[in-house]
Structure 1
Amino acid sequence: MTRQVSVWGGGFWLSGKTREAALDAACELDELGYARLWTSGGFGEGVPSVYGEVLAATTRLGVASGILSIWHADPADTARTVRGFEQDHPGRFLLGLGTSHAPVVDAKAEHTYTKPYSRMVEYLDALDAAELPAQRRALAALGPRMLALSAERSVGAHPYFVPAEHTAQAREILGDGPLLAPEVAVVLERDEDTARAIAHEYMRGYLSLPNYSNNLRRLGYSDDDLAGAGSDRLMDALIPWGDLDTVVAGIEEHYRAGADEVTIQVLTAEPFTFPSAAYRELATALL
């Protein structure tokens, strides 16, 4: 599979207040040559409208949900929406699915977070029944069972919040062929105190979610590494930071570990402002 460089983004893309700026940013990413835009949408209801809007605003850029929660999006409705994307923009949308997290699912009081693996299998069965091809979906897989399922029932895996050592293990489980597209957060900031402040604030929320913390424990990180906003050791493993060369070197570790596509998330102190200059700078080195 040809190496691809993509972009991962969250709230900036989903908020209606920043939608016009988001569509302008998507057009620039398209022109710069990024392969795909992965945007979150896992904690809302159904398929966010932003996916179709980005597809309509661009000419080449792929779009992927990263991720859509199987607890909060009806599979028949999801399949119908994705088939519409495929009809209007052939080959450009990839449905990224995930099991979300117990604190998020249980807080909505509509479902109880039990047997997430079985729930994913049932969801994929429903997509099959709705005739949505496996090649139009990927799984946000972390553990060995979900990674194996992603190879069997989808185009591949989109792990989030993982160091390069996880990418290497994921490739071994997936084998040759299935897509492996890890998200990699980066901080283009030379000042160490500033970089660490930005990165640790980002880490804090994810370390409170058991799917991520347990995955990092499987990799050998300790409770001390995972406490609060995380240790500097964990930050250095997860988040390339520093000047352009250093950040690019950290991204390249994932390609060497077996990634086909790295989905880059540039972290800043202003999450609802798109860091266009940083993505332009990264494009000069990676595209």
Structure 2
Amino acid sequence: MNIGKTGVWSPELRLHRDPAEIADAAAELDSQGWGALWIPGLGGGDILGDAERLLSATGHTVVATGVLSIWRHPAEEMAVGHARLRKDHGHRLLLGLGVSDATAAQRAGGTYRPLAALDGYLDRLDSAPDPVPADERLVGAMAPKLTELAARRSAGTHPFLVTPDFTATARAALGDAPLLAPYQAVVVDDDPRRARATARRFLAPFIEMRHYAKSLLRQGFSQDDIADGGSDRLIDSVVAWGTIEAIDARVRAHLDAGATHVALHAISPRDGLPRTEWRELAPLVR
């Protein structure tokens, strides 16, 4: 499955109130040539229905879940839905899977053993009447053991809130072949104070989550960096802000570090679909 070098990651492609406007925006992104449209799990809901809307509105781009929680979406249902969408739209759905956190596992009545839970989930995808092929699924892996599992049993990984240095480490762990598609938050604004404030409004809740905080600490950030919505150092490291040229330099840094693809999340200070930002970012289609 070819997802190109760059894609668009967007919660708005699931959350926006007007489905017709979502479809229109997806068609425009498809026409610009983005390799993939990524939609996050957002705690559940009809993620395959939302993916189907995007697949129906586009003709070329891959639609990827980035990522759905294995605790909220039974593997058997995902396999059935994936097979149906593959039949209707070809090989354009990439099923991104995540282990979420202990709270999600407890709410689902499970025990939070991420590696074993994901391994079992992949077993169920493999044993379904219409299995999900390994090259049409990937893992939101940030820890070393999950990265190793992703390399063995999926197309690769889609890590969240990471730096190009992390990308280089992940590539070394994955080997040459697997897909490595990091999430990259971007703010198209060259005013430092305003750009960082825009970034913090979205990222602060994630930075406070234990599993993301642990990942950031493994990447070399301190507890002080994680406090109060993130230090300037942390924000500048995980968010690309500024001119299109500055954002392009961050994309190139990930690609030079071994990324196969970079999923760009345009964080806007305005509500609604960030279509202005997407048009500004269109030169970064590779």
- The answer for the alignment partner of 1:243 in structure 2 is 243
Match of residue 120, structure 2, among 119, 122, 127: 122
Match of residue 108, structure 2, among 100, 107, 110: 110
SS in 1 for 2:60: coil
Separation in 2, partners of 1:166, 1:90: 33
Conserved 8 A contact 2:3-2:61? no
Moved over 3 A (4+): 45-48, 103-106
- Which runs of structure 2 are paired with 1:222-261 in the superposition (5 Å)? 222-261=222-261
Separation in 1, partners of 2:111, 2:187: 33
- Which runs of structure 2 are paired with 1:129-148 in the superposition (5 Å)? 129-130=127-128, 131-148=131-148
- Which runs of structure 2 are paired with 1:188-227 in the superposition (5 Å)? 188-227=188-227
Structure 1 residue 134: Cα displacement: 0.7
Structure 1 residue 138: Cα displacement: 0.5
- Structure 1 residues without counterparts, runs of 5 or longer: none
Conserved 8 A contact 2:34-2:61? yes
TM (norm. structure 1) is 0.94
Structure 1 residue 2: Cα displacement: 8.2
Structure 1 residue 100: Cα displacement: 1.2
Separation in 2, partners of 1:25, 1:3: 19
Please list the CA deviations of residues 170-214 of structure 1 after superposition, one character each: whole Å capped at 9, or x if unmatched. Answer: 101001010000010001001111101111222211111111110
Structure 1 residue 113: Cα displacement: 4.9
Q: Which deviates more from structure 2 when the two are superposed, residues 272-281 or residues 216-225?
A: 272-281
Alignment of 1:279 with 2:278, yes or no, is yes
Structure 1 residue 286: Cα displacement: 3.8
Letter in 2 for 1:278: E
Separation in 2, partners of 1:88, 1:48: 13
Please list the CA deviations of residues 42-82 of structure 1 after superposition, one character each: whole Å capped at 9, or x if unmatched. Answer: 51146441101111111111101111110011111110000
- Which runs of structure 2 are paired with 1:32-181 in the superposition (5 Å)? 32-45=32-45, 47-106=47-106, 109-130=107-128, 131-181=131-181
Letter in 1 for 2:234: L
Separation in 1, partners of 2:60, 2:4: 17
Conserved 8 A contact 2:167-2:182? yes
Conserved 8 A contact 2:38-2:63? yes
Structure 1 residue 111: Cα displacement: 2.6
Q: Cα distance 1:98–1:2, how it changes in 2: closer, same or farther (>3 A)?
A: closer
Separation in 2, partners of 1:173, 1:197: 34
Letter in 2 for 1:119: A
Output the aligned Cα RMSD.
1.6
- Structure 2 residues without counterparts, runs of 5 or longer: none
SS in 1 for 2:240: coil
Conserved 8 A contact 1:40-1:68? yes
Separation in 2, partners of 1:278, 1:244: 10
Structure 1 residue 37: Cα displacement: 0.3
Structure 1 residue 165: Cα displacement: 1.1
Conserved 8 A contact 1:8-1:183? yes
Letter in 1 for 2:250: G
Structure 1 residue 274: Cα displacement: 1.7
Letter in 2 for 1:275: P
Q: Cα distance 1:149–1:13, how it changes in 2: closer, same or farther (>3 A)?
A: same
Separation in 2, partners of 1:60, 1:3: 11
Please list the CA deviations of residues 245-281 of structure 1 after superposition, one character each: whole Å capped at 9, or x if unmatched. Answer: 11111121111111011000011112x4222222222
Conserved 8 A contact 1:5-1:264? yes
Separation in 2, partners of 1:123, 1:4: 28
SS in 2 for 1:138: strand
Query: Number of matched residues?
Result: 283
Letter in 2 for 1:216: L
Separation in 2, partners of 1:2, 1:57: 17
